Amino acid sequence: MAESSSPALELAPSDDTVAAFTAKLDAARTAARGLSSATTNQKDSALGEIAAGLRGSMERIVAANHLDLANGAKNGLSAGLLDRLTLNPARIESLAEATLDVVRLVDPVGETVRGRSLPNGIRIDEVRVPFGVVGTIYEARPNVTIDIAALAIKSGNAVVLRGGSAAENTNAVLVEILQSALEAAGLDPASAQTVDEFGREGARMLMRARGYVDVLIPRGSAALINTVVSESTVPVIETGAGVVHIFLDESADPHWAVEIVHNSKVQRPSVCNALETLLVHEAAAASLLPAVLARLVASGVTIHGDEATRAIFADALPATTLDWETEYMSLDLAVRVVSGLDEAMDHIRTYSTHHTESIITNDLGNAERFLREVDSAAVMVNSSTRFTDGGEFGFGAEVGISTQKLHARGPMGLPELTSTKWLVRGSGQVRA
C-alpha cells in the first residue's frame, strides 16, 4: 500500500465520527514516519520533557484523578480497580523516574539482529525498525498512558491511546503533557494521541483500523482482552489476566514460604502479578500452612480453601472451581493441598492464564522440572511473583505482560515494540 493511500475503516458509525477518527489516524501515520527517523537524542529529549511535565503538573494530575476516583466510586468500581486508577504524588514521581529510566536504555532502532555476507558478495543484515503506529486499549490505568507512550516514543512509534471513561479526566491531562513534551523536543505532537473522546465507538473503530494501526495492545480485564482479541482486525499482542500460582513444595524453607507468599499476595493485590492461588504439598501442609495463612490473615486476606486446607485452617471459606479460575485483584486467596509436584503442575495447566508461576523448594530436581515444564510467560523458583514487571526486569517501563507465544512474551519493553527488516547491499549481482 502506498503511503499516501487511506484505507477505509470497516466500521462506520457516522460520517462525521469516521472523518474525525480517520483524521487522527492519518496524523498518527504521518507522525510515525517522522518519528522513525528521529535521532536518539531527540527522542530522549522528549522523554526528559515528559518527566519534567509530570513533576511540574502534579497538582493538576492529582486534581483530575480525584474527579475520576469520585466518579469511579459512584459507579461502583471495585477496590482493585480504584487502586489501579489512583495517581497520587508518589506514583506520579515513580512514573517520572520510570520515564527517565527509558532514556538510559539503548535505542533499539537500527540494531542489527543478525547479518552475513553471501558467497556471491551480497551483504544481508536484519535490523530493528519501529512498528509504525501502536494502538492500545486499556481501562482504569492512567499509568499505562505514560508507560506505553514513553516506550513507543523511544522505539520510534506513534501511539494512539484509548484509556477508557474511568480515567478520562486524568488521561486528558497526561496526553496534554505528552504532546507538549513532544513539541518542545521538536517532534510531531500527533505522535501521541487519544481517542477517548469517541467513547466506546473509539475502541471499536481502533480494533477495525487495519491499515492505519500496525499493532494493537490491550491491557485490562480478561473480558476486555478477550473482546479485543476476538473482534480486532488489527494484529494484536495479547496481554493476559493474571491467575498467578505459587507451589509450596515438601522441602520449602518455612521462612521463605511465609515471606514470599505474603509479598506476592499483599504488597499490591490489584495488579496482574499478584498471587491468586496457593498450592501446597500435602506432606508439608500441616507444618507450613498455619504460619503462612496466619501472616496473610493478619494482613486482611480472606482464605478460600479446599477441604484439606480447611481441616488445617478452620476459618477458610469453602473453595469452589470458580475460585481456581478467579483473578481476585483483592485481598482474597485460593488455597489447595495437592499430592505433589505433578498434581500442582496439572492444576496450573488447567487454571493458569500463563502469566507467572513460582515454586518454593530446596529440591533442585523439582525446581528444574517446574522451570522446564510449566508453560507460562514467567516461571520462578524461590521468588515473589511481584517481580514479573518491566521495571524490575530493567526495561524502565513496560507495555504489558504478554501471555502469548508469538513475537513477545513476558514483560514487554523496547525491543518488543519493534519489528525487523532485511537490508540487502549488492554490487550488480543477479540470480543465476
**Per-residue CA distances from 174 to 104, 137, 143, 273, 331 (Å):** 22, 16, 9, 25, 30
Q: Is the model's pLDDT at 370 over the cut of 90?
A: yes
Pick the CATH number of 244-387 from 3.90.470.10, 3.30.360.10, 1.10.560.10, 3.40.309.10: 3.40.309.10
Higher pLDDT, 223 or 147: 147
What is the spatial distance between Cα 248 and Cα 264, in angstroms, rounded to a whole number? Answer: 13
Using one digit for the tens of pLDDT, what is the confidence trace for 185-227?
999 999 999 999 999 999 999 999 999 999 999 987 778 888 9
Q: What percent of the chain has pLDDT over 70?
A: 97
Averaged over 107-115, what is the pLDDT? 96
Contact status, residue 169 vs residue 123, Cβ threshold 8 Å: no
- Amino acid 276: pLDDT: 98
Using one digit for the tens of pLDDT, what is the confidence trace for 238-269?
887 789 999 999 999 999 999 999 999 999 99
Reduced to 3 states, what is the DSSP secondary structure of residue 333?
strand
How sure is the predictor about 13, in pLDDT bands with cuts at 50, 70 and 90? Answer: low
Tell me which DSSP letter residue 423 carries: E
What is the spatial distance between Cα 413 and Cα 394, in angstroms, rounded to a whole number? Answer: 9
For 322, counting Cβ atoms within 10 Å of its Cβ (0-12 exposed, 13-18 middle, 19+ buried), the class is exposed
Which sequence spans correspond to the domains of the chain? 15-239+399-425, 244-387
Instruction: Name the phi and psi angles at 238, rounded to 5.
Output: -85, 120
What is the spatial distance between Cα 195 and Cα 25, in angstroms, rounded to a whole number? Answer: 10
Using one digit for the tens of pLDDT, what is the confidence trace for 391-411?
888 887 778 888 888 778 888
How sure is the predictor about 300, in pLDDT bands with cuts at 50, 70 and 90? Answer: very high
Query: Which numeric CATH code is attached to 15-239+399-425?
Result: 3.40.605.10
- Amino acid 4: pLDDT: 40
- Amino acid 1: pLDDT: 35
- Amino acid 347: pLDDT: 98
What is the spatial distance between Cα 43 and Cα 298, in angstroms, rounded to a whole number? Answer: 47
DSSP string, 185-200: TTS-GGGEEE-GGGHH
Averaged confidence pLDDT in the chain: 93
- Amino acid 9: pLDDT: 52
What is the spatial distance between Cα 74 and Cα 209, in angstroms, rounded to a whole number? Answer: 33
Place of cell 514513553: 150
Residue 246, CA atoms < 13 Å, CB-side half-sphere? 30
- Amino acid 372: pLDDT: 97
- Amino acid 3: pLDDT: 41
- Amino acid 242: pLDDT: 86
Give the predicted TM-score (pTM) of the model: 0.82
Using one digit for the tens of pLDDT, what is the confidence trace for 349-366?
999 999 999 999 999 999
How sure is the predictor about 374, in pLDDT bands with cuts at 50, 70 and 90? Answer: very high
Contact status, residue 42 vs residue 187, Cβ threshold 8 Å: yes
What is the spatial distance between Cα 27 and Cα 159, in angstroms, rounded to a whole number? Answer: 11
Averaged over 120-134, what is the pLDDT? 96
Place of cell 500435602: 282
- Amino acid 14: pLDDT: 65
Query: Lowest-confidence range among 47-56, 74-83, 119-128, 395-404?
Result: 395-404
Averaged over 112-137, what is the pLDDT? 96
Q: Is the model's pLDDT at 69 over the cut of 60?
A: yes
Q: Is the model's pLDDT at 175 over the cut of 80?
A: yes
Averaged over 99-108, what is the pLDDT? 94
Q: Is the model's pLDDT at 428 over the cut of 90?
A: yes
Higher pLDDT, 378 or 12: 378
Contact status, residue 196 vs residue 162, Cβ threshold 8 Å: yes
Higher pLDDT, 149 or 397: 149
